[in-house]
Amino acid sequence: MKKNKKKIVIGIICLTIVVSMIFMANNNSEEQSATTTLQTETVKRGDINNSTIVTGEIISSEETTVVSRVTGEVRKIDVSKGDYVEQGDLLLSIDTKELDSRIKKAEIALKKKEAELSGQKTMNINKINTKTELKNKYDFKAKELESNEILYNNGAISLHELEQSRIDAQEAYNAYAQVLNVDNSSLTVAELEYKELKIEYNNLLMEKEYYEIVSPIEGIVIDVYIIEGEVTGKQQQLIHIVNTNNLKVTGYINEFEADNIALGNVFEISKYGETYSGEITYISPVIKTLKVPGRGDTKVIEIEGILYDENLLLLAGSDVTLDLILQKSEDALIVSQKSIFNNEYVIKIEGEDYILVEVITGVQDLMNIEVVSGELNEGDIILSSPTMELVKELKGEK
């Protein structure tokens, strides 16, 4: 009997403990729920950016491989790998002995043809002068004949004198007729030959400029592909130069981000403890397919950008990560993303009142979002995580 009473007492004590634990658990749950419901935040004002991370590569904005335009032996190389050159600096010289011989022969031929042409022109001038003189003499004799015919008809001169006048006029005409058609064909041929020789000579002089090869850009000599004494051929690669003063960056963005990117978008690069900034200057109009490890084929769009800075610590060919700002809003009203219900409503707290505020949102980053319009001001207190039940209640819905 005593044992049964003891069991009953122990049972009552255990039941009391269990009930107490349940009551405490319910209280804690209600307190936590109340705490969660009452979590608030303050509307702030500031700058907000929507950015994406892009893997890119630093490249030179200008580089060139100098090639030979002539054939010949390399006489002297004036630069070495790693040298800095200005535009127009002499890079190397090619031997001109064979070319100089051709130039000398062309010069002699040109002078000979020039002398020949000069002689023919003199002869032609003499012929023209003779032609003019004979024409004048013929005109004079023809007029004299006309006058003598009038005089003869009036009995002023004899028939013999008239006949002599006719003979003189005919002889003057015959002499003039012999030079009437001066042959200029030989002069024309000589002039054409002279022009051809002149062109050939000038072309050889221009070709000589190709034997002293200068740098078309400023930059660093990256490679020298030839040695002194070697014979170079036309279009043979000689020297590679890269302009490292004006670097740019290239990379790819996912095709789904294409609508958010625009020319002029700003980006930042952090490298070697330094931060560099720049802007997008090119967006490809063509979508490419790249094979990405672990992801397969990915549709991407190529972009390029310039760097504002001197890039002293950046090297062409190095990989970089771009923090590319797609959208930016300055001095904006900012709240956390979780404080906006369904991207449409915010619950503002004024005293003990809850006020449902309809808003339009703008730029967002990973945590926060811009409020573009709505009855909301800097410093307002809002719920951090509004619930559907509370929103429906404030809207008067069941």
Average pLDDT over residues 163-172: 84
Tell me, what's the pLDDT at 61?
80
| 36 — pLDDT class (breaks 50, 70, 90) | very low
Interacting residues of 343 by C-beta distance below 8 A, sequence separation 6+: 361
Q: Which amino acid is at 337?
A: Q
Rg of the chain in Å (alpha carbons): 50
Interacting residues of 134 by C-beta distance below 8 A, sequence separation 6+: 172, 175, 176, 179
Q: How far is the C-alpha of 302 from the C-alpha of 285, rounded, in Å?
A: 9
31 pLDDT more than 50: no
Q: How far is the C-alpha of 284 from the C-alpha of 122, rounded, in Å?
A: 68
| 221 — pLDDT class (breaks 50, 70, 90) | very high
Tell me, what's the pLDDT at 275?
86
| Per-range mean pLDDT, top range of 54-63, 69-78, 136-145 | 69-78
Tell me, what's the pLDDT at 310?
63
Q: Which amino acid is at 241?
A: I
Instruction: For 181-208, write each residue's pLDDT tens digit.
Output: 655 555 577 788 888 889 999 999 999 9
Exposed/middle/buried for residue 370 (C-beta within 10 Å: 0-12, 13-18, 19+): buried
The answer to whether the CB of 73 falls within 8 A of the CB of 230 is yes
Instruction: For 350-360, write each residue's pLDDT tens digit.
Output: 988 999 999 99
Query: Where is pLDDT greater, at 396 or 239?
Result: 239
Which top CATH class is 40-47+330-395? mainly beta
Main-chain dihedrals φ then ψ at residue 44, nearest 5 degrees: -115, 165
What b/e sequence results for 313-342 when a residue is b if at least 16 CB atoms lie within 10 Å of its CB, and e otherwise?
A: ebebeeebebbbbbbebeebbbbeeebbbe
Tell me, what's the pLDDT at 213?
94
High-pLDDT (> 70) share of the chain, %: 84
Instruction: For 38-58, write each residue's pLDDT tens digit.
Output: 799 999 999 998 888 888 998
Q: Which amino acid is at 154?
A: N
Instruction: For 285-341, write each residue's pLDDT tens digit.
Output: 999 988 877 777 888 999 999 888 765 677 888 889 999 988 889 999 999 999 999
Angle formed by the axes of helices 185-209 and 97-153, nearest 10°:
160
Q: What are 169's two structure tokens?
A: 């006029």
Average pLDDT over residues 368-384: 92
Tell me, what's the pLDDT at 71?
92
131 pLDDT more than 80: no
Tell me, what's the pLDDT at 115?
84
Exposed/middle/buried for residue 234 (C-beta within 10 Å: 0-12, 13-18, 19+): exposed
The answer to whether the CB of 143 falls within 8 A of the CB of 151 is no
Give the 3-state secondary structure of residue 34.
helix
229 pLDDT more than 80: yes
Instruction: For 76-124, write each residue's pLDDT tens digit.
Output: 999 999 999 999 999 999 999 999 999 999 999 989 988 887 777 666 6
Query: Where is pLDDT greater, at 195 or 25?
Result: 195
Q: Where is average pLDDT lowest: 129-138, 155-164, 197-206, 227-236?
A: 129-138
Average pLDDT over residues 370-382: 92
Angle ∠(363,367,368) on CA atoms, nearest 5: 40
Instruction: For 56-68, write each residue's pLDDT tens digit.
Output: 998 888 889 999 9
Tell me, what's the pLDDT at 122?
67
